[in-house]
Amino acid sequence: MTTMEKNREAAPPGQKLTTYLGQNLRQYGMMAALVVIVVLFQITTDGKLLYPNNIAALIQQNAYVLILAIGMVMVIVAGHIDLSVGSVVAFIGGICALLISDHNVPWLLAVVISIAIGGLVGCWQGFWIAYVGIPAFIVTLGGMLLFRGLAIVLVGTTVAGLPTSFNDISNGSLPNALGFLGDLDGLTLLIGIVAIAGLAAGQIRARRSLLHNDLRVEPFAAFAGKLVISAAVIAYITYLLAKSAGGTPIVLIIVGVLVLLYTFIMTNTVFGRHIYAMGGNLPAAMLSGVKTKRVNFMIFVNMGLLAGVAAVVTTSRAGAAVAAAGNNFELDAIAAAFIGGTAVSGGIGKVTGAIIGAFIMGVLNMGLSIMNVDPAWQMAVKGLVLIAAVAFDITNKRRAK
């Protein structure tokens, strides 16, 4: 049985709910931590944290972390690390801005070229890691220096004057095509309803599939509770976004599509299963016929593609390209993955967990900023949260053993 299958299985039918929750403390603990942090900052900021416009800004400001964390989960689950993504974001963002401003390339074509270049960067790093056998830590450390240097060479001065339609990728919202229901954006409400219906249908279908194949499932109370709470959270966020100035941010749709796509890849494809198998027990995976070199290569190609997407989003958000862009982005993505439950040793981790981890980091940033906390102390708090999350993971594993 692969590690991924163990992750998908839950409690035997007769197991008590409390026992199941205790065994899955990591998964539910992070969700509870996010709720506690939101409530805490909602109180300490006198309700400012959950202002509708602040929620939209939270999504737009942290889109790069959400995108990079998706790829970083796959990298860490396979037993690697990627220290280069921040520099790659700066390098590709510079190329994207120069294509648009200096070479008059249509912005949509420039976006496609930028993402393709991200894939080529992934090929470069994946080759050294998968086929030459250099540890990912060393290759991506070298990549961090290499692509930061190239970014400085390319973007000697700030490249600005990008078209509004390009900047709207990160700063704009979907047009209000359905009008308003009172003071609520109609299109945002429809998207929220579709999201809740899709979540319910997907979860019910997955549970039925497990039951049909005589696999263990989580207790019905846990299943129903998780579904109701998730639907309530989506409904509340939908309500806040519908009341915001713009409605649904365009970048939220991009992130949502990526989360759905990569959740499917990691849970329902051979490629995803092989990633979990390699991270759980590499020698066993090799003996089982997993083509580890190819999988490792594709993991870093994929990370490069997502870094290209993050570069476009970051450049669009700033409305310009600068050589210092992407500074510490790799640390944010790694922290989001670990906080969201990805195991330091590999083999365990979920895309949805990384998204929760990214939102925890985002809420901390926004809440502390609203409270006018010094940026140095903000970094210190995030460092403590990361250490606490990893310590919790290690302690939980020891207790389970």
| pLDDT for residue 298 is more than 90 | yes
Identify the three-state secondary structure at position 214. coil
| Res 259 pLDDT > 90 | yes
207 residue type, one letter: R
**Residue 110 · residue 100 · CB < 8 Å:** yes
b/e map 208-229, b = 16+ CB within 10 Å = eebeeeeeebbbeebbeeebee
Q: What is the pLDDT of residue 5?
A: 42
Of the listed ranges 124-128, 212-216, 277-281, the one predicted with least confidence: 212-216
Element (DSSP H or E) covering residue 117: helix 107-126
Alpha-carbon distance of 383 to 353, in angstroms, equals 18
Task: Fill in the DSSP letter of residue 61.
Answer: H
Cβ neighbors of 299 (< 8 A, separation 6 or more) are 74, 75, 78, 80, 126, 275
Residues of the chain above pLDDT 70, percent: 91
Among 34-48, 126-140, 213-227, the minimum mean pLDDT is found in: 213-227
pLDDT bracket for residue 7 (50, 70, 90): very low
Can you read off the two tokens belonging to residue 339? Answer: 């906080």
Average pLDDT in the chain: 88
What pLDDT shows up at residue 79?
92
Name the residue among 363, 335, 400 with its Cα closest to residue 25. 400
Choice between 205 and 22, residue whose per-residue pLDDT is larger: 205
Q: Burial, 68: exposed, middle or buried (Cβ in 10 Å; 0-12, 13-18, 19+)?
A: buried
Q: Three-class SS of residue 215?
A: coil
**Better-scored residue on pLDDT, 186 or 13:** 186
Whether the pLDDT of residue 390 is over 80: the answer is: no
Which H or E run contains 181? strand 180-181
Least confident of 214-218, 278-282, 383-387: 214-218
Name the pTM for this structure.
Answer: 0.90
**Looking at 238-247, 276-285, 381-390, which range is the least confident one?**
381-390
| Arithmetic mean of pLDDT, 217-228 | 82
Report pLDDT for 24: 59
- pLDDT score recorded for residue 6: 43
- Residue-wise pLDDT tens digits, 93-116: 999 999 999 899 999 999 999 999
